[in-house]
A and B are shown apart, each in its own frame.
Chain A
Amino acid sequence: MHPAKSIIAFTSLSGLGFGLMVLIGLGLPQVMGWPALVFGLLAVGLAGIGLLASLLHLGNPQRFLKAFTQWRTSWLSREAVFSMFTMMLFALHIGLLFFGIRLIFLGYLASALAVATIVCTAMIYAQLRTIPRWNTWLTPVLFLAFAITGGALVTAQIYLGLAGSALVLVVQIAHWARGRRALERSGSTAGTATALGGLGTVRMLESPHTARNYVTSEMVNHLDAARAKRLKIVVITLLVAQCLMLALLPITHAVVAGTILLHLAGVLVSRWLFFAESEHVVGLYYKG
């Protein structure tokens, strides 16, 4: 899949923003007044920038309001609806906190909605049977783990951040390990794609087009395996460094800021790989 910058920015930043909302909603930390407003603006800002970035990727962004209508079947529409509900409720919660009123259940509700939003974002990808690497429950778990860990780091919840970073590391490695043979196990081959498999080994002799086309540039990308491996080592290194910093170093603002930077870098590289490494079954039609 083509790793579009706008989608990587969208999933990473909105993930962090909604992860922050989960934490604040749960009262971790219990903030009031100005600190609550600062955290609130940060969370809504990150989520908002992410959602705006996702608009950049649309062919006709001016029609985005229509995307709120098909929540019955579409995870993308659900994501839009949940993100708006979450941001509105969370803004209300922050507003009340600013004036010193803590409605615990309102916070919990905002947290639950933020979790639902992150799951919807992940399900946009995890629902696709055409991309076997994504088509697993590990995808929403990975997105959730990244988002909530990010939230925990921004709110300096050290133990939660440490546990979250370790969980991200485990789930990320599991996601990669499962992904390695996902296409093979999906049962789709050039033979089933063309229904010619019964006659022998199928390979493309001549492409239908000599130039690029939407399908090939969007979905038939080949990431060099060696490069993918190097980037995976980068993500693992970042996550391990993040865990070690949280576990071993004295907790100062600089250390926490460092872990947040490591986390952001880790999310971006991981998300780039998530797209660039994934094979779409339509690639089977182009297999030479």
Chain B
Amino acid sequence: MTTLPQHTEKKLGLVIDLDTCVGCHACVISCKEWNTSQYGAPLSDQNPYGGDNGGTFLNRVHSYEITKENMASQVVHFPRSCLHCEDAPCVTVCPTGASYKRVEDGIVLVNEPDCIGCGLCAWACPYGAREMDADAGVMKKCTLCVDRIYNENIPEIDRIPSCVRTCPAGARHFGDFADPQSNVSLLSDKRNGVELMPELGTAPVNRYLPPRPRDQIDILAPLLDTEPAQPGGLLGWVDRMLERL
């Protein structure tokens, strides 16, 4: 059903720490590896060794440059994937009911046998989170690794999304935003987690932690005298004479 649930018991989602992300793309690769071999159609590649290549990924890492006058520019690495919106426009536009938001945990999923591959959900998503697989002709998106997080056949430590498990910088966190005492809620509150494009009214669940202010070296600058004063007296006179030579 493409009617969104009024209320979900849990709001599972991610906190992505833009202060910590080093832009290594490990989450992208780990996501592709897990999701190409598990739930649903594989994430295909087209012409992987040819010229005009392409492929399906559920997670993409951009790098942005932020410039401000009289400030050193700053580079921020920015992983982009499904935000599991509470008011997900991708779900309501679906003509077949393939897209849905789960009542129990709020995960937005695609039931692939129902997907006709019309692509309208990808158009409705502001975040570019959905990619149609060119081989299977069905829409692929982040499942929040629904086949890991409840999977009792894998060690408990692995029952988190693949991207979170693999992140070497600890920039990704997984949890329940409906619980105000959860790791992600506390982290987001403490670090002023933000929504992406809130003006579009999608009410995303995932939060991004903005980069913390950089150290301000200017504060110490007056104390650090980098230009040595000209020595006076006899030594100074010797110095000046030597310079003339």
User: Which A residues are within 8 Å of any B CB, using their own CB?
Assistant: 1, 57-61, 63-64, 66-70, 72-77, 80, 124, 127-131, 186-188, 190, 192-196, 198-209, 211-215, 217-219, 280-282, 285-286
Contacts and interface: CB of A to CB of B under 8 A. Distances in A.
Contacts of B2: 70, 72-74
Contacts of A285: 62, 80, 127-128
Interface in B69-106: 71, 73-76, 78, 80, 89, 91-98
Interface of B: 1-3, 18, 23, 25, 28, 52-57, 60-68, 71, 73-76, 78, 80, 89, 91-98, 113-120, 122-128, 131-134, 136-139, 194-201, 208, 210-211
B137 A204 contact: no
B112 to A, nearest CB: 9
Given A67-B116, A74-B92, A212 B62 contact: no
A213 B55 contact: yes
A205 B138 CA distance: 31
A202 B137 CA distance: 34
12 contacts: A74-B120, A130-B200, A131-B123, A186-B199, A187-B199, A192-B197, A199-B74, A200-B73, A204-B64, A206-B63, A212-B54, A213-B57
A215 B131 contact: yes
A60 B63 CA distance: 35
Contact of B71 (A67, A200, A282): A200
Contact of B200 (A129, A211, A213): A129
B122 A215 contact: yes
B125 A196 contact: no
Contacts of B96: 63, 66-67, 69-70, 77
Contact of B128 (A58, A202, A282): A282
B197 A281 contact: yes
Nearest to A62: B116
Contacts of B128: 215, 219, 282, 285
B74 A59 contact: no
Nearest to A190: B64
A113 B115 CA distance: 27
